Amino acid sequence: MKYVSEFRDKKFIAPLVDELRRTIDRPLRIMEVCGTHTMAVFRHGLRSLMPEGLELISGPGCPVCVTSSAHIDGFIDVAGRDGVRVAIFGDLYRVPGSHGSLARAQSMGAQVEVVYSPMDALTLAGRYPQQVTVFLSVGFETTIPLVAATILEAERLQVDNFAVFPAHKIMPPALTALLGDPELRLDGLLCPGHVSTIIGAAAYEPLAASYSLSCVVAGFEPVDILQALIMLARQAREGRAEVENAYGRAVSWQGNLRAQKLMNDVFEPVDCQWRGLGTIPASGMAIRDHFSCFDAEKRFGINLAETPEPQGCLCGQILQGRKTPADCPLFAGRCTPLNPVGPCMVSSEGTCAAHYRFGRG
Amino acid sequence: MKTTETILLDHGSGGRASQELIKNIFLPYLANPVLACLEDSALVDTGAGLLAFTTDSYVVDPIFFPGGDIGELAINGTINDLAMRGAKPLCLSLALILEEGFPLEDLKRVILSIQGACRKADVPVVTGDTKVVPKGKGDKIFINTSGIGLVDSGIHISARNARPGDAVILSGSMGDHGITILAQRAGISLQGNLRSDTMALHRLVQKMLAAAPGAVHTLRDPTRGGVATSLNEIADAAQVAVELDESEIPVKPGVAAACEILGMDPLYLANEGKCLALVAKEHAGRVLDLIRSLPEGADAAVIGRVSEGPAGRVLLKTAAGGSRIVQSLTGEPLPRIC
Amino acid sequence: MCLAVPMRVIAVKGVEKDFTIPQIGVVEAQGIEKEVRLDLVDRWPEIGDYLIIHAGFAIYTLDAVEAEINLRLLREMVDAVRAGSGGEKQ
């Protein structure tokens, strides 16, 4: 596949690994912000190739993992309402709230449809005019503009049986909240490639400046990840703390301005609860008043109650990079992909799921 | 441990959820030495020879898809389950559960496909049954086929027979059927060259066994759950390890692209016209050549080997040159965005 | 959070800047074709462009020039290693 296969070419990988090994001159702690990076590292077996001294910590960039239990419960509540059909990304299907998942709700009669695109949810609304189709929306800045475009299309088509229940989150405020923790000693951030396609590499400059942190924007193929790690290692070696872009073919300095505008036209920042991280100011994206007819929370009168985390579950600390799955007493015992306790195990890119699927044995 | 109180779609996926159901609900009450083997077909000693007996139900949606339909699947799938124990298929039963309102045109189309598949395989349907359920209580058409076959004496093919050193051969490209079905789902609509690979493999198997008697230790058709789940089951049953080489696994470019778009891993997607063959290494080359010489096996490849390793572990050497563990499928594969 | 793949534009439906009708790109990779939305792509696509596709939308036009530069540097690195001069890069 063009522009994918070349960046997986084995003939590039061994020399890049060697270069990485030569460049690392002391132990380095790098946070992979994005869950897709965690999955890519495991999927391509890169962990087994990493040189000594490089510690890769998984961060909170797994939108499903950081969706609060209250939001999942809210999703299940809407799914159970009469005359409602919910549409979701596959990632959300098995995530547990405080009493079950959407998979379980479906088995009890809720109409849950997995879609590939938010626009497909709008198409569903057209196909089932007697029902309200609600798109249960999770995602970061890669996905939020898509939902914005879908709402605008719904408005243009004057669709009255479509709504969105957003649990959107944006990255920079969460990173700021994480980096404020003095215990989290990091040498660098592997920044999320496709979020950066939207928000631009410049978005990380305040972080680099305030926290003296090296930030490199990385793509998701093995070559992309290795190139970015080499750049982070070089910055550490040379005592630099800058933003660099290792994914130039997909990321520009200012990002996709059109997508940013769409996102901000339809959504506005609100304080938001992140599972395991608590409430972070201006870190969620809610539907603006102008589009409130598409706001599922208003339409169905949903009040998000707060629920405590399950006992023993360390998802919160794992998301903050303070603990690893192996540290969690529930990992691979009480908590497995089949019977997950917390979302880190269920989400396809959750840290615990990745470790369970790829790293055990 | 929190257990689900209802059946979930995951229980039908062929992965761990399905295995848990068998372990917790079926075996405790139904187990006997023959059932407990949990192979593709049961082998029953009649006193006058070994009879292979298998049953399978087909509930695929959509019922018509590129490369085949539910009828063809029902015939080929059950023939293959017999073939995977080295049996020569004798005959099949055909039971239909039809939903009220299902168009007769569609039923006729399915029956014609069944006729075609039976003729092509030279295996007849000798008995059948039909039931109709009220609208909403079924989903167009469900099919069950059961099959019996004869296993020649001297043939011992079982997951438990896999041995360190065996070559793992896959008879052709991986993931074709699974991705074709997924791409048909409403809301995905991928156009292209995706086709189900549904095909009967009994002749291929008989030729393999004739060419290298005793050398074929294990056969498995990797349907729901994919190659990953089948190999994990074999590794567990035989208490061996399996090492796979990602660069050697044949995957059609269109299948690979569709998987990238949807976030699927072809190792977990169903195959309906392929088999895994674990073959003694000294005969592997010859068996591979034979499979490749047949239309059913043109793309066959040695994709790995059985090793001493930690029992039950399946390890993949990645195309990037690293390695990772491959687990059984957990639940139904779903397209994802992350 | 970001599963997205590059696919090549083979057709474009709709008119740039006319938002009253859906703007759709038809993209392909390895014989697989998909219709994708152009509501938020950075510029109007031309046939032969590669678009980065996420959840049914084009989110960016892949910068082929940047991609080729990156690949050229990688090939040079491999050649240098092969030539035995792959010493320390400072």
Contact A34 C2 (CB under 8 A): yes
Residue A307, min C-alpha distance to chain B (Å) = 18
Q: Where in chain A is the domain with CATH 3.40.50.11740?
A: 69-170+255-300
Would you say residue C87 lies in a domain? no
Contact A338 B334 (CB under 8 A): no
Distance of alpha carbon A332 from alpha carbon A329, whole angstroms:
9
Looking at beta carbons, which residues of chain C come within 8 Å of A4?
A: 5-6
Which of B2, B9, B320 comes nearest A45 by C-beta?
A: B320
Would you say residue C88 lies in a domain? no
Contact C3 B338 (CB under 8 A): yes
Which of A15, A143, A259 comes nearest C81 by C-beta?
A: A15
Write down the pLDDT at residue B2: 46
> Does A61 have pLDDT greater than 50?
yes
Distance of CA A355 to the CA centre of its chain: 17
Which of B263, B319, B327 comes nearest A357 by C-beta?
A: B327
Q: Which helix (DSSP H) or strand (DSSP E) does residue A127 occupy?
A: helix A118-127
Q: Tokens 């792959």 identify what position?
A: C86
> Does B133 have pLDDT greater than 90?
yes
With an 8 Å Cβ cutoff, the interface of chain B facing chain A consists of 1-4, 6-10, 16-17, 20, 185-188, 247, 253, 256-257, 260, 262-263, 265, 310, 313, 315-325, 327, 330-331, 334-338
Which one, of A79, B241, B66, B268, lies nearest residue C32 by Cα? B66
Write down the pLDDT at residue B186: 54
Residues within 8 A of B (CB atoms), A 49-68 only: 49, 62-64
Q: Which residues of chain C have pLDDT under 50?
A: 86-90
Distance of CA B230 to the CA centre of its chain: 8
With an 8 Å Cβ cutoff, is B178 touching chain C?
Answer: no
Residue A243, min C-alpha distance to chain B (Å) = 24
Contact A103 B1 (CB under 8 A): no
Looking at beta carbons, which residues of chain B come within 8 Å of A127?
A: 186
Write down the pLDDT at residue A355: 82
pTM: 0.93
Looking at beta carbons, which residues of chain B come within 8 Å of C33?
A: 190-192
C77: CATH: 2.30.30.140
pLDDT band, very low/low/confident/very high, at B37 (cuts 50, 70, 90): confident
Looking at beta carbons, which residues of chain B come within 8 Å of C28?
A: 192
Would you say residue C11 lies in a domain? yes
Q: What is the mean pLDDT of chain A?
A: 92
With an 8 Å Cβ cutoff, is A337 touching chain B?
Answer: yes
The set of residues, in sequence order, having a beta carbon less than 8 Å from that of A163 and lying 6+ positions away, is A132, A133, A134, A135, A293, A294, A295, A296, A299, A300
For residue A127, give the chain B residue with the closest CA: B186
- Give the mean pLDDT of A98-104: 90
Distance of alpha carbon A302 from alpha carbon A75, whole angstroms:
9
Please list the residues that pair with B42 across neighbouring strands: B53
The tens digit of pLDDT for each residue in B96-128 reads 999 999 999 999 999 999 999 999 999 999 999
B125-133 vs B88-99, strand pairing mode: parallel
Quick check: A132 and A154 in contact, CB under 8 A? no
Between B199 and A318, whose confidence is greater? Answer: B199
Contact A10 B262 (CB under 8 A): no
Looking at beta carbons, which residues of chain A come within 8 Å of B322?
A: 44-49
> Does B242 have pLDDT greater than 90?
yes
Candidate from A64-78, A200-214, B112-126, C33-47 with smallest mean pLDDT: A64-78
Quick check: B317 and B244 in contact, CB under 8 A? yes
Residue type at position A53: G
The set of residues, in sequence order, having a beta carbon less than 8 Å from that of B77 and lying 6+ positions away, is B56, B58, B145, B198, B221, B223, B272
Contact B320 A36 (CB under 8 A): no
Counting as contact any 3 or more CB pairs under 8 A, the partners of C are A, B
> Does B144 have pLDDT greater than 60?
yes
Write down the pLDDT at residue A353: 82
> Does B76 have pLDDT greater than 80?
yes
- Specify the length of chain C in residues: 90
Which one, of A258, A222, A157, lies nearest residue C58 by Cα? A258
Q: Tokens 């498995």 identify what position?
A: B220
The set of residues, in sequence order, having a beta carbon less than 8 Å from that of C33 and lying 6+ positions away, is B190, B191, B192, C10, C26, C27
Contact A104 B324 (CB under 8 A): no
For residue A261, give the chain C residue with the closest CA: C40
- Give the mean pLDDT of A121-134: 96
Q: What is the mean pLDDT of chain B?
A: 93
What's the alpha-carbon Rg for chain C, to the nearest Å? Answer: 18
The tens digit of pLDDT for each residue in A132-157 reads 999 999 999 999 999 999 999 999 99
Looking at beta carbons, which residues of chain A come within 8 Å of B3?
A: 339
Write down the pLDDT at residue C82: 81
Contact B190 C32 (CB under 8 A): yes
Write down the pLDDT at residue C90: 42
Domains parsed from chain B with CATH numbers: 32-151 (3.30.1330.10), 159-325 (3.90.650.10)
Looking at beta carbons, which residues of chain A come within 8 Å of B8?
A: 103-104, 106-107
The tens digit of pLDDT for each residue in A291-336 reads 999 999 999 999 887 777 777 888 878 877 788 898 999 898 888 8
Write down the pLDDT at residue A359: 64
Contact C33 B193 (CB under 8 A): no
Would you say residue C90 lies in a domain? no
Looking at beta carbons, which residues of chain C come within 8 Å of B263?
A: 3
Q: What angle do CA A32, A38, A43 make, to 5 degrees?
A: 150
Residue type at position B199: M
Number of compact structural domains in chain C: 1
Contact C32 B194 (CB under 8 A): yes
Task: Tell me if residue B328 falls in helix, strand or coil.
Answer: coil
- Give the mean pLDDT of A102-123: 95
Would you say residue C54 lies in a domain? yes
What angle, 0 to 180 degrees and rounded to 10, lies between the N-to-C axes of helices B70-83 and B202-211?
A: 20
> Does B39 have pLDDT greater than 70?
yes
Distance of alpha carbon B321 from alpha carbon A246, whole angstroms:
22
Task: Give the count of Cβ contacts less than 8 A between chain A and C.
Answer: 137
- Specify the length of chain B in residues: 338
Looking at beta carbons, which residues of chain C come within 8 Å of A25?
A: none
Residue C15, min C-alpha distance to chain A (Å) = 16
pLDDT band, very low/low/confident/very high, at B1 (cuts 50, 70, 90): very low
Residue A93's CB is within 10 A of a number of other CB atoms, namely 23
For residue C74, give the chain A residue with the closest CA: A12
- Give the mean pLDDT of B275-303: 97
Task: Tell me if residue A135 falls in helix, strand or coil.
Answer: strand
Any idea which fold A69-170+255-300 has? Answer: Rossmann fold (3.40.50)
With an 8 Å Cβ cutoff, is B265 touching chain C?
Answer: no
Candidate from A224-228, A341-345, B20-24, B76-80 with smallest mean pLDDT: A341-345
Contact B263 A8 (CB under 8 A): no
Is the CA virtual torsion A223, A227, A232, A233 positive or negative?
Answer: positive
Give me the domain span that covers residue C20: 5-82
Q: Where in chain A is the domain with CATH 3.40.50.11750?
A: 5-58+172-238
Looking at beta carbons, which residues of chain B come within 8 Å of A339?
A: 1-4
Q: Tell me how far CA of residue A213 lies from CA of A30, A192, A234, A241, in angstroms.
A: 10, 15, 13, 5
Core vs surface per residue B188-223: b (16+ CB within 10 A) or e: bebebbbbbbbbbbbbbbebbbeebeebbbbbbbbb
3-state helix, strand, coil in chain B (%, to 5): 35, 25, 40
Cα atoms in the Cβ-side hemisphere of radius 13 Å centred on C47: 4
Which of C2, C62, C67 comes nearest A193 by C-beta?
A: C2
> Does A358 have pLDDT greater than 80?
no
Which one, of A172, A169, A171, A176, lies nearest residue A147 by Cα? A169
pLDDT band, very low/low/confident/very high, at A169 (cuts 50, 70, 90): very high
Is the CA virtual torsion A118, A124, A126, A129 positive or negative?
Answer: negative
- Specify the length of chain A in residues: 361
Which of B188, B318, B323 comes nearest A116 by C-beta?
A: B188
The tens digit of pLDDT for each residue in A229-267 reads 999 999 999 999 999 999 999 999 999 999 999 999 999
Distance of alpha carbon A108 from alpha carbon A114, whole angstroms:
16
DSSP-derived letter for residue A335 is B
Contact A104 B4 (CB under 8 A): yes
Looking at beta carbons, which residues of chain C come within 8 Å of B337?
A: 1, 3, 54-55
Looking at beta carbons, which residues of chain B come within 8 Å of A361?
A: 310, 313, 315, 325
**Could you give the ipTM of this predicted complex?**
0.92
Counting as contact any 3 or more CB pairs under 8 A, the partners of B are A, C
At the fourth CATH level, the homologous superfamily of domain A5-58+172-238 is: HypD, alpha/beta domain 1 (3.40.50.11750)
Looking at beta carbons, which residues of chain C come within 8 Å of A198?
A: 59
Contact A361 B257 (CB under 8 A): no
Please list the residues that pair with B57 across neighbouring strands: B144
Residue B338, min C-alpha distance to chain A (Å) = 6
pLDDT band, very low/low/confident/very high, at A348 (cuts 50, 70, 90): low
Contact A10 B337 (CB under 8 A): no
Distance of alpha carbon B156 from alpha carbon B216, whole angstroms:
9
Contact A94 B331 (CB under 8 A): yes
Core vs surface per residue B249-278: b (16+ CB within 10 A) or e: bbbbebbbbbbbbbbbbbbbbbbbbbbbbb
Q: Tell me how far CA of residue B248 lies from CA of A106, A226, B292, B318, in angstroms.
A: 39, 24, 15, 10
3-state secondary structure B82-151: HHCCCCEEEEEEEEEEEECCCCHHHHHHHHHHHHHHHHHHCCCEEEEEEEEECCCCCCCEEEEEEEEEEE
Write down the pLDDT at residue B309: 87
Task: Give the count of Cβ contacts less than 8 A between chain A and B.
Answer: 136
Write down the pLDDT at residue B34: 87
Looking at beta carbons, which residues of chain B come within 8 Å of A113?
A: 186-187
Would you say residue C89 lies in a domain? no
Structure tokens at B184: 């048909």
Q: Which runs of consecutive H residues, i.e. helices, occur in B185-280?
A: 202-211, 226-238, 253-262
Would you say residue C69 lies in a domain? yes
With an 8 Å Cβ cutoff, is C29 touching chain B?
Answer: yes
